[in-house]
Structure 1
Amino acid sequence: MLSMYLQGLALGASLILPLGPQNAFVMNQGVKRQYHLMTASLCSLSDIALICGGIFGGSALLRQSPLLLMLITWAGVAFLLWYGWNALRIAFSGNVDLASNSELKQSRWRIIATLLAVTWLNPHVYIDTFVVLGSLGSQLPTQTARHWFAFGTVSASVIWFFGLALMAAWLSPRLRTVRAQRVINLLVGAVMWVIAGQLALQGIANF
């Protein structure tokens, strides 16, 4: 069963490490130290739900409902364009604000809502968890093997998100400058728009 765990861990890491909306958002919150551990927790819990859903039967639902995938795709495109625009607007503005403590308190629910949108409106998440992991998980010979495989992929997600949030928070004193925040917002905006473009092309191709 250790081999199943390590296989899940390696595959989970390979799927989660590329820079995407979730990673960019977690990194940004870590640098700002705006509820970065809460952000990592919500990302991990979302991944746990999606991974378990994909491995234990959810992949069939996505395969049988191309309309659902199309709706998720275009909702994701719209959200990523909006979020990327806000990040780029801040980056190119003359004054990049560094959040105060009062702003942190007011932004908690907005952070939660944005994070949930970044996660659940990203079709790549469903493809990774429902299609890739679901297909591999369904081929495993026993239920026990599936459990260990799922545990490995979940471990990769938890380790990565908390590691990214803590590392960004640790580097925060060096990165929480106006110049660094401008670069980070440029990076986040570019990532969001590139992925939105990729999703739009996929949506047009599948139309």
Structure 2
Amino acid sequence: MEAFWTGLGLGLSLIMAIGAQNAFVLRQGIRGEHLFWVCLTCALCDALLLTLGVYGAATLLARFPGLDHWMRLMGALFLLLYGGRSLVAALRGGQVLNPAGQAQISLGKTLAVCLALTWLNPHVYLDTVVLVGAVSAQQTSKNAFLAGAIVASFTFFFGLGHGAKRLRGLLARPRAWQVLDGTMAFLMWGLAVSLVWPMAFE
């Protein structure tokens, strides 16, 4: 169960970082358009990427044992940079969504945008291959770790989309984005320290 909760916590921390994909899901929730399919598409894509990251990283580490240290360092560096990006966004006033006045988009075009935001984002591969792969290599059960991360994806995307639909007024305020961005910055930095801390005692 420890590996499951680690995967769940890491999955939520990574997904909650404000980015183009999450902003798109929020926008669809606020607009109330094709929400189920957008959430499902994001969650399924994330599950596939997480699976590739966990088992692909395991194969690489078995072939190149020293790669574990480099993956941890790269993951920590990425988290530090991403945390800094979130903090800058918070200090600048957060991210404002403005879906009002936009024409309705078809389901096909909506899902095409959703897929592009997922698969064409280089941060997605850094998350799933470098960071998730590095952390999964330290777990006693990769299956439980992966299950936790996938549960986090489905829970977050559906919660985000349907939560946005119910909280339209609050989520349109810049202050809400400031709080979320600031929280994510410190969570990312904490994860970065946890990745490299064990290396200091090896």
Question: Normalized against structure 1, the TM-score is what?
Answer: 0.60
Q: Deviations over 1:74-104 (max 9, x none)?
A: xxxxxxxxxxxxxxxxx6xxxx5254xxx45
Per the alignment, residue 12 of structure 1 pairs with 11
The structure 1 segments of at least 4 consecutive aligned residues displaced by more than 4 Å after TM superposition are none
Per the alignment, residue 42 of structure 2 pairs with 43
Please list every run of 5 or more consecutive structure 1 residues that lacks an aligned counterpart in the other structure: 64-90, 188-207
Task: Give the drift of 1:58.
Answer: 5.4
Q: How many Å separate the matches in 1 of 2:102 and 2:20?
A: 21
Name which of 159, 163, 167 aligns with 1:163. 159
Task: Give the drift of 1:5.
Answer: 0.4
Are residues 1:23 and 2:22 paired? Answer: yes
Per the alignment, residue 190 of structure 2 pairs with none
Name which of 143, 148, 155 aligns with 1:152. 148
Task: Give the drift of 1:128.
Answer: 0.4
Q: How many Å separate the matches in 2 of 1:58 and 1:8?
A: 15
Q: Deviations over 1:122-153 (max 9, x none)?
A: 01110000111112223434xxx000000111
Per the alignment, residue 109 of structure 1 pairs with 108
- Say whether the 8 Å CA contact 1:40–1:162 is kept in structure 2: yes
Q: How many Å separate the matches in 1 of 2:18 and 2:6?
A: 21
Name which of 97, 102, 113 aligns with 2:101. 97
Please list every run of 5 or more consecutive structure 2 residues that lacks an aligned counterpart in the other structure: 61-66, 68-97, 178-202
Per the alignment, residue 121 of structure 1 pairs with 120
Equivalent runs, 1:30-69 vs 2, <5 Å: 30-57=29-56, 60=60
- Say whether the 8 Å CA contact 1:13–1:157 is kept in structure 2: yes
Q: How many Å separate the matches in 2 of 1:160 and 1:14?
A: 10
Question: Normalized against structure 2, the TM-score is what?
Answer: 0.61
RMSD: 2.7
- Say whether the 8 Å CA contact 1:15–1:128 is kept in structure 2: yes
Q: How many Å separate the matches in 2 of 1:155 and 1:161?
A: 10
SS in 2 for 1:130: helix
State the AA in 1 paired with 2:161.
A
Per the alignment, residue 130 of structure 2 pairs with 131
Q: How many Å separate the matches in 2 of 1:3 and 1:140?
A: 9
- Say whether the 8 Å CA contact 1:43–1:161 is kept in structure 2: yes
Q: Count residues with an aligned counterpart.
A: 139
Q: How many Å separate the matches in 2 of 1:20 and 1:154?
A: 19
SS in 1 for 2:18: coil
Q: How many Å separate the matches in 2 of 1:9 and 1:140?
A: 13
Task: Give the drift of 1:22.
Answer: 1.0
Q: How many Å separate the matches in 2 of 1:7 and 1:168?
A: 26
SS in 2 for 1:161: helix
SS in 2 for 1:19: coil
